Amino acid sequence: MCSFRPCWTCCYLLLFFSLEVRGSPKPPSAAPEQVHLSYPGEPGSMTVTWTTRVPVPSEVQYGLQPSGPLPFQARGTFSLFVDGGILRRKLYIHRVTLQGLLPGVQYVYRCGSAQGWSRRFRFRALKKGPHWSPRLAVFGDLGADNPRALPRLRRDTQQGMYDAILHVGDFAYNMDQDNARVGDRFMKLIEPVAASLPYMTCPGNHEERYNFSNYKARFSMPGNTEGLWYSWDLGPAHIISLSTEVYFFLHYGRHLVERQFHWLESDLQKANKNRAVQPWIITMGHRPMYCSNADLDDCTWHESKVRKGLRGKFYGLEDLFYKYGVDLQLWAHEHSYERLWPIYNYQVLNGSQEMPYTHPRGPVHIITGSAGCEELLTPFTLFPRPWSALRVKEYGYTRLHILNGTHVHIQQVSDDQDGKIVDDVWVVRPLLGRMMYL
């Protein structure tokens, strides 16, 4: 027995030193992370959302000076989010809405509590009213792996090129994976952009797990539908965000298709009555009505669900959007960029042969899902369809400049070509007598 004692002593010493080196597990952190902004729809306001691992108070301190004290405070609330994965990980999502902001003024802020503060971020409050020219970055399908467009978007944001971001569905790939740790990693990745600009979203198919719970918990959009559908005004535009996913994941409730459709019709009716103030009506939804990609996605079928509705005849969106004169429809899902000619029911409705996007007789569709993710790019069919104006199979994102009530400028940035503009088009609509195409 004595001969074995030195070996056991060595084992105990190794175990002791191993524990000393590794230390005990760190307690959950009260430090804010995953900070991002959104516009709640009320002029002079901005919502700050962030995450902690323990329940602590929700406070934002803000001011006008980049250094020194932050004289203003706003308090909000947090909610417990329990991920649906096997570990049932708990996150505390904090929301604070700043109010009474001066339009167009830059603010400095930090969020957190006495138990831990974020670093300082800057944002510029949105201008009020219709008489200014918002600039937006638009894209979908951005992953935590291979987020090809993100470095350039960060540089653009630092240079003050945008007033808001439109992320048209599909985040992280996927936010629920690895017990929602992929979602955490993605939200940290986008923080340099999303903590500086209102980051406005709609759900995509990759958010579906656990009834879109990660999407609903992590983002703070206007309205009372947990970000599934909502609308807001930005300069001379009324922007409508919708869920195409209600048409595909019917086990979460067929009633959602009907609810959203009736809400859309009501919102479009109000928007048309307000055309004198916000002449442009722009929609954003994840899965397109049309596309010419070489796959079997819904948009490649003649009677696509988003276009024609359930069973090809119930709650289709194309007739609704055409009836109420939607000007521009933004989509993603296909990992490529495609611009269509003005179109309705497969008919090309160009304004004229020389100037197809000047006074178009139908809506313009843009599919912009090439920001970069683990699934790489989506190929196109060999020959373009007659309604397809331009196709680009390169990583990138779209710039949308709503110049005024009559002119919108659309550009596609190629990240593969070091930021080269690979599409550049103006959409021009008359200000007077503008309402519905019918």
What string of H, E and C letters represents the secondary structure of the chain?
CHHHHHHHHHHHHHHHHHHHHHCCCCCCCCCCEEEEEECCCCCCCEEEEEEECCCCCCEEEEECCCCCCCCEEEECEEEEEECCCCCCCEEEEEEEEECCCCCCCEEEEEEEECCEECCCEEEECCCCCCCCCCEEEEECCEECCCCCCHHHHHHHHHCCCCCEEEEECCEECCCCHHHHHHHHHHHHHHHHHHCCCEEEEECCHHHCHHHHHHHHHHCCCCCCCCCCCEEEEECCEEEEECCHHHHCCHHHCCHHHHHHHHHHHHHHHHHHHCCCCCCEEEEECCCCCCCCECCCCHHHCCCCHHHHEECCCEECHHHHHHHCCCCEEEECCCCCEEEECCEECCEECCCCCCCCCECCCCCEEEEECCCECCCCCCCECCCCCCCEEEEECCCEEEEEEECCCCEEEEEEEECCCCCEEEEEEEEECCCCCCCCCC
* CATH number for the domain formed by residue range(s) 130-428: 3.60.21.10
283 or 24, which is more confident: 283
Q: pLDDT band at 8, cuts 50/70/90?
A: very low
pLDDT in tens, 293-325: 999 999 999 999 999 999 999 999 999 999 999
For the cut 80, the answer to whether the pLDDT of residue 15 exceeds it is no
Q: pLDDT band at 280, cuts 50/70/90?
A: very high
The pLDDT of residue 293: 97
- C-alpha 49/C-alpha 171 separation (Å) is 17
Mean pLDDT of the chain: 94
Q: Please, where in the chain does CATH 2.60.40.380 lie?
A: 33-124
For the cut 90, the answer to whether the pLDDT of residue 172 exceeds it is yes
Answer whether 397's CB lies under 8 Å from 138's CB.
yes
The pLDDT of residue 435: 59
The stretch 99-123 carries a mean pLDDT of 97
CA angle 395, 398, 404 (to 5 degrees): 170
Interaxial angle between packed helices 177-194 and 209-218, expressed in degrees from 0 to 180 and rounded to the nearest 10: 30
The stretch 102-129 carries a mean pLDDT of 97
The pLDDT of residue 140: 98
Q: pLDDT band at 433, cuts 50/70/90?
A: low
pLDDT in tens, 65-86: 988 899 999 999 999 999 999 9
- C-alpha 107/C-alpha 148 separation (Å) is 29
Residue 201 phi, psi (nearest 5): -130, 165
The pLDDT of residue 24: 53
The pLDDT of residue 430: 87
Residue 17 phi, psi (nearest 5): -70, -35
CA angle 196, 125, 277 (to 5 degrees): 125
Buried/exposed code over 230-260 (b: 16+ C-beta within 10 A; e: otherwise)? bbbbbbbbbbbbbbbbbbbeeeeeeebbebb
* Dihedral, CA of residue 132, residue 43, residue 156 and residue 286, to nearest 10: -100
CA angle 125, 127, 128 (to 5 degrees): 125
For the cut 90, the answer to whether the pLDDT of residue 337 exceeds it is yes
The pLDDT of residue 437: 67
The pLDDT of residue 22: 45
- C-alpha 273/C-alpha 66 separation (Å) is 42
Residue of 338, 350, 261 lying closest to 293 (CA atoms): 338
Q: pLDDT band at 393, cuts 50/70/90?
A: very high
- Is the CATH number of domain 33-124 2.60.40.380? yes
Q: Please, where in the chain does CATH 3.60.21.10 lie?
A: 130-428
Residues 6 or more apart whose Cβ sits within 8 Å of residue 43: 103, 126, 128, 129
The pLDDT of residue 431: 78
pLDDT in tens, 18-48: 444 444 567 788 999 999 999 999 999 999 9
- C-alpha 157/C-alpha 194 separation (Å) is 9
- C-alpha 365/C-alpha 389 separation (Å) is 10
* Dihedral, CA of residue 102, residue 280, residue 137 and residue 186, to nearest 10: 90
Edge-first strand listing for the sheet containing 164-168: 199-202, 164-168, 135-139, 396-402, 407-414, 420-428
Low-confidence winner among 3-7, 255-259, 333-337, 351-355 (lowest mean pLDDT): 3-7
